[in-house]
Amino acid sequence: MFKNFLATLSIILALSSCKEEQKVNPKVLKIGMSIDYPPFEFYQDGKPVGFEVDIINEIGKLVKKDIQLMDLPFDGILASIKTGKIDLGCSAISATEERKKSVHFSKPYHVSTLVLLTIHKDLKDLKALENKKIGVQSGSIYENYLKEKQIQNSKIQFQSLSKVPELLQNLKNKTIDAILLGQREAITIQKNFKKQDFTTFVHDIVESNNEYAIAMSKDSPLIEKINQAIDELTASGKIEEIERKWFEKD
């Protein structure tokens, strides 16, 4: 029995050692993305494409790692980092002070502004949306923003859903009046709606910038390499090139 115990213990220690080695120096980087957020990440002919898909693939080349994309609900990405299910989160994640308490962030690779995508031309600010309903993605900074505004003004109502396509369908069905999201994605969605003869309007409501960055665990050994890769992509003009590929001209 003692020999069996030693054999079992050896297996456990070996597996633990392999796990640590894989964590420190993995051949494959598992990337958490909510692949429903054009133009940042979405499916085209069954394949993930978009601005951040291109960005993370370029980073993979520079750090000499293979990239494995894992489609996750947006509000589950940071939790998946903390449990070790994924190595990095790259999904239009704003590097807020609150999030920095639980995960580490790279340097920013994109800056976004908050806007309203609405079916009403005259709904240009939150004041005009009193007693109407705003849609927002669960776990996003937009949800937190509306929670704070709701404390200040109880007439502000919103609906949180984990998937953006569900919000878009509700907007088309007119069960919500607007969606709070980033400017680039709003412009892309507006263009797609126009092709469907569905008219929407985009209004800036917040004079602030949100920095999108790559999230990782607090003890991740990847932070320096990821930051170096972002610096290199910025200096070479590659990020700007990818932006031109995916984003509508202002």
The model carries a pTM of 0.82
Q: What is the pLDDT of residue 123?
A: 85
Residue 191 in contact with residue 197, Cβ under 8 Å?
Answer: no
Q: What is the pLDDT of residue 124?
A: 83
Residue 245 token pair: 């590929």
Q: Quick one: which H or E segment has residue 78?
A: helix 77-83
Q: Could you check whether the bond before residue 26 is cis, i.e. omega within 30 degrees of 0?
A: no
Q: What is the pLDDT of residue 248?
A: 72
Q: Which domains does the chain have, with CATH numbers?
A: 2-109+213-246 (3.40.190.10), 112-210 (3.40.190.10)
Ramachandran region, residue 180 (left: φ > 0; alpha: ψ -120 to 50; beta: rest): beta
φ/ψ (deg, to 5) at 115: -140, 165
Residue 87 in contact with residue 201, Cβ under 8 Å?
Answer: no
User: Position of tokens 């079992």?
Assistant: 8
Which of these, 145, 135, 133, lies nearest to 180 by C-alpha position? Answer: 135
Q: What is the pLDDT of residue 26?
A: 64
Q: Do strands 178-182 and 133-137 pair parallel, antiparallel, or not at all (unpaired)? A: parallel
Residue 115 token pair: 């806007």
pLDDT, tens digit only, all 250 positions of the chain: 444 444 444 444 444 444 443 454 468 999 999 999 999 999 999 999 999 999 999 999 999 999 999 999 999 999 999 999 999 999 999 999 999 999 999 999 999 888 999 999 988 887 888 899 999 999 999 999 899 888 888 998 999 999 999 999 999 999 999 999 999 999 999 999 998 989 999 998 766 678 999 999 999 999 999 999 999 999 999 999 999 999 976 5
CA-to-CA dists, residue 245 to 46, 52, 54, 90, 237, angstroms: 20, 12, 10, 18, 13
Helices 238-246 and 223-235 cross at an angle (nearest 10°) of: 80
Length of the chain: 250
